């Protein structure tokens, strides 16, 4: 799995300031527990791009479960 966050402090009004990219290269499902600002913003995040129609996101625990070979981009 690879994950990274992009923060755009000078994003125009109404545009996302944070992007979180999660990519699983495994043939088995996996999960990641987010921390810090990524976990705090998870409740406000919307799916910008995903390879599966349903995402498994729990904003309360900060957990994001990924299917096998899933890519997910969250924005808020």
List pLDDT tens digits, range 18-58. 999 999 999 999 999 999 888 988 999 999 999 999 989 99
The number of domains in the chain is 1
Q: Using an 8 Å Cβ cutoff, are 46 and 26 in contact?
A: no
Owning domain of residue 48: 2-75
At residue 39, φ and ψ (nearest 5 deg) are -70, -40
Kindly report the CATH number assigned to the domain that includes residue 54.
2.60.40
What does the pLDDT average to over 51-71? 94
């Amino acid at each position: 799995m690879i994950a990274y966050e992009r923060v755009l402090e000078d994003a125009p009004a109404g545009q996302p300031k944070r992007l979180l990219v999660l990519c699983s290269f495994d043939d088995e499902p996996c999960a990641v527990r987010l921390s810090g600002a990524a976990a705090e913003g998870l409740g406000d995040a919307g799916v910008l791009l995903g390879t599966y129609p349903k995402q498994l996101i729990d904003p309360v625990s900060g957990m994001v479960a990924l299917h096998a070979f899933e890519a997910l981009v969250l924005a808020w």
